[in-house]
Amino acid sequence: MLRQPSWESGSRRSDLPAIVVLCAATALAAVPGTLGAQESGNGPRLERLERLDLPDDIARASDVRWLEDDEFLLGVIGRGLYSWSIGDEAGQLRVALEEPKAETFQIGDRTVVDSNRYERDYGQLAVSPDGMAFTDLFSGIHLATEDGVDSLADLKHLGDLDRRGALTAAVGLVRKDDDAWGPYAAWLIEDAGGGPRGLLPTRDGGHGLELCGDAELSVIRFIAADRLLVIPGAEAGVFVYDREGALQHSLDAETFFAEDGCDVEVNQWGRSPLSDAYARADWLGPRRIIDEVVADGEGNVYFFVRYAADGPAEALAASDRKWLPGGVPFLVGFGAGVLNQQLIRDRVVASVPPPSGRVCWDLVHIHVDDLRTATMQPCVVESEFADTRLRADLRGDRAVLLLRGGALRGGDVRSGKAFEARLRPPVGAED
């Protein structure tokens, strides 16, 4: 269902309280293996950082993409896709799906309805002039165009997606049958139909993507007109394909000062322990994972590598913490249906404070013509919450950054923080 209400607009922007930019002189000893790449102190730069004060109606944003100069598209949990221009007092609703159907249970001679399990997440976005693709917790990938909203592909355990022209690329799984996943972990999907076309074969039968889906380890990005970067995350490797799906390069995550893999087993309920926000934060903490990748169309590619750092974050004050709704911690209301142990755990996680602990993002730069030569700038962004994730998009050298908390699971995502900045390659790489 496509809805387009109108809104009044005004002006809204604020100073920077939530993240901090650190200079190139930051010590590298805490990042094993990176000293050689940084001996000259010459790395990529994040400059002119400025806080963007998101209006309340789009504060639970889960992903962000540029639409035009000064205008963004945001996926907002439980609400839909919103466009927002810098300075406006509210977002404009562009797309919203019908609410998921309620589950029914038969208990004896009674039919019980559970109508409040999870919200739609609108968790990943991809934009091209031909349309806006987005994912949903319940029903795979959708494509919104001027003609309406259509289902593009029914992928499960969706990790990420991107778009170029009429082509959508995605990391995720397709059911082979009730007991097995299909043979691929990444796919190419044409708007014209024909279904997903397998791109990157899975090497573990989809086991890692299924168990580590809540850890959000996957990234897929068009880094040039004819180059697609695929990072399954839960499986080893970083891969570069052309638009036809031919493999061009295979690299290690270590090339980008990161690591990969999924080393968890199911818990006593047969579920991944990473569905718990605190277990997930603990598991992610010591790992250097590629949280986001952006490219400027001129050959420069930037990786945001996430890891837990020692000591308290200096950029956030306790008074700046914001909960939704109503500004106080909350417990999502229970439906009338049968509640299992895992559902109760999910709802409790949504009602308690987020995990604390300083998180940093290193900025890593490569050029599409030299994928194996990387330079790094340490800890250009930091947060005091151990569950914070970073999403970004790039338009020329103008970057929009979104810091959000938690996994995309109902109420456990607090208000996001948005920023605008400039991304610059290392000195000399611009020539």
Q: What is the pLDDT of residues 376-390, one digit of tens each?
A: 999 999 998 888 999
CA dist 48 to 43, 196, 423, Å?
A: 16, 40, 9
- Between 1 and 404, the higher pLDDT residue: 404
pLDDT grade, residue 112 (50/70/90)? low
Positive or negative, the CA dihedral 105, 106, 108, 111 is positive
Any residues with CB less than 8 A from the CB of 15 and at least 6 apart, and which? Answer: 51
Q: Average pLDDT, stretch 287-297?
A: 97
- Please report whether residue 98 resides in a domain: yes
pLDDT grade, residue 137 (50/70/90)? confident
Beta-bridge mates of residue 161 = 170
- Please report whether residue 230 resides in a domain: yes
Rounded to the nearest 5 degrees, what angle is found at the Cα of 243, between the Cα atoms of 392 and 132? 45
Beta-bridge mates of residue 84 = 72
Q: By percentage, how much of the chain surpasses pLDDT 90? A: 58
Say how far apart CA 366 and CA 426 lie, in whole Å. Answer: 10
Q: What is the pLDDT of residues 65-76, one digit of tens each?
A: 999 999 999 999
- Please report whether residue 15 resides in a domain: no
Omega before 55 cis (within 30°)? no
- Please report whether residue 3 resides in a domain: no
Q: Which domain holds residue 155?
A: 36-424
CA dist 307 to 7, 232, 426, Å?
A: 39, 18, 22
Q: What is the DSSP letter of 11?
A: -
Q: Hey, is 414 helix, strand or coil?
A: coil
- Please report whether residue 18 resides in a domain: no
The radius of gyration of the chain from alpha carbons, rounded to an integer in Å, stands at 21
Any residues with CB less than 8 A from the CB of 141 and at least 6 apart, and which? Answer: 133, 134, 135, 151, 152, 153, 154, 155, 158, 161, 168, 170, 189
Q: What is the pLDDT of residues 234-285, one digit of tens each?
A: 999 999 999 999 999 999 999 999 999 999 998 888 889 998 888 888 999 9
> Buried b / exposed e across 32-52, counting CB within 10 Å, b at 16+?
eebeebbeeebbbbbeebebb
Give DSSP secondary structure letters for 19-44: -----TTS--TTSTT-TGGGTT----
The residue written with tokens 């926000």 in the block is: 277
Select from 208, 63, 209, 212 the least CA-distant residue to 127: 63
pLDDT grade, residue 429 (50/70/90)? confident
Range scoring the smallest mean pLDDT among 187-191, 309-313, 408-412: 408-412
Q: Which of 98-112, 330-344, 392-406 has the highest mean pLDDT?
A: 392-406
Q: Yes or no: say if 206 and 218 are a contact pair by the CB < 8 Å rule.
A: no
Select from 52, 191, 86, 186 the least CA-distant residue to 133: 191
Q: What is the total count of domains within the chain?
A: 1
The residue written with tokens 């322990």 in the block is: 273
> At 81, which amino acid appears?
L
pLDDT grade, residue 52 (50/70/90)? very high
Any residues with CB less than 8 A from the CB of 326 and at least 6 apart, and which? Answer: none
pLDDT at site 385: 87
Say how far apart CA 308 and CA 428 lie, in whole Å. Answer: 31
- Please report whether residue 49 resides in a domain: yes
Sheet strand arrangement including 156-164: 156-164, 167-173, 184-190, 197-201
Select from 40, 39, 43 the least CA-distant residue to 23: 43
pLDDT grade, residue 139 (50/70/90)? confident
User: Is residue 416's pLDDT more than 70?
Assistant: yes
Q: Hey, is 353 helix, strand or coil?
A: coil
- Please report whether residue 431 resides in a domain: no
Both tokens assigned to 76: 């907002």
Q: Which of 34-43, 52-61, 349-358 has the highest mean pLDDT?
A: 52-61
The residue written with tokens 């891969």 in the block is: 239
- Please report whether residue 28 resides in a domain: no
Rounded to the nearest 5 degrees, what angle is found at the Cα of 340, between the Cα atoms of 335 and 342? 105
> Buried b / exposed e across 337-348, counting CB within 10 Å, b at 16+?
beeeeebebbbe
Q: What is the CATH number of the domain that holds 86?
A: 2.120.10.30
pLDDT at site 430: 67
pLDDT at site 415: 81
- Between 150 and 428, the higher pLDDT residue: 150
Q: Average pLDDT, stretch 124-140?
A: 90
Report field, pTM of the whole predicted structure over 0.85: no
pLDDT at site 41: 60
Beta-bridge mates of residue 392 = 401
Mean pLDDT, the chain, as a whole number? 80
